[in-house]
Amino acid sequence: MEITASAPILIFDSGVGGLTVYDALREILPHAPVIYAADLAGLPYGSKTEPQIAARVAGLLGRMAERFRPRLVCIACNTASTIALGMVREVLEVPVVGTVPAIKPAAALTRSGTIGLIGTEATIRQAYVDRLEAEFANGTKLLRIAAPEFVGLAEAKLRGAPVDPAPLRAIADRLRAMPGGEAIDTLVLACTHFPLLADELGAVFGPDVALVDGAQGIARRIAHLVEGQDMAAALPNRFVITGPVESAAGLENALAARGFAHAEQF
Interface residues with ligand DGL (CB under 6 A)?
Answer: 13-15, 17, 43-46, 77-79, 120, 123, 151, 191-193
Between CA 115 and CA 136 the distance in angstroms is 12
Between CA 246 and CA 262 the distance in angstroms is 11
Q: Are 53 and 250 in contact (CB under 8 A)?
A: no
Residue 7 C-beta: closest distance to ligand DGL, Å: 25
Q: Is the CB of 45 or the CB of 128 nearer to ligand DGL?
A: 45
Q: Is the CB of 12 or the CB of 136 nearer to ligand DGL?
A: 12
Q: Is the CB of 147 or the CB of 231 nearer to ligand DGL?
A: 147
Q: Is 77 a catalytic residue?
A: yes
At 11, which helix (H) or strand (E)?
strand 9-13
Q: Are 176 and 105 in contact (CB under 8 A)?
A: no
Between CA 3 and CA 175 the distance in angstroms is 47
Which residue among the candidates 10, 37, 77, 212 is catalytic per the annotation? 77
Q: Is the CB of 7 or the CB of 83 nearer to ligand DGL?
A: 83
Residue 101 C-beta: closest distance to ligand DGL, Å: 9
Give the amino acid at 72: L
Q: Is 74 a catalytic residue?
A: no
Residue 238 C-beta: closest distance to ligand DGL, Å: 19
Q: Count CB-CB contacts under 10 A for residue 155.
A: 23
User: Apex CA 76: angle with CA 88 and CA 138, to 5°?
Assistant: 90
Between CA 3 and CA 231 the distance in angstroms is 9
Residue 95 C-beta: closest distance to ligand DGL, Å: 20
Residue 36 C-beta: closest distance to ligand DGL, Å: 13
Q: Is the CB of 7 or the CB of 40 nearer to ligand DGL?
A: 40
Q: Are 14 and 79 in contact (CB under 8 A)?
A: yes
Which residue among the candidates 7, 16, 72, 191 is catalytic per the annotation? 191
Alpha-helical runs (H) found in the chain: 19-28, 50-68, 78-91, 103-109, 121-124, 127-136, 149-158, 166-176, 198-205, 215-225, 252-257
Please list the active-site residues: 77, 191
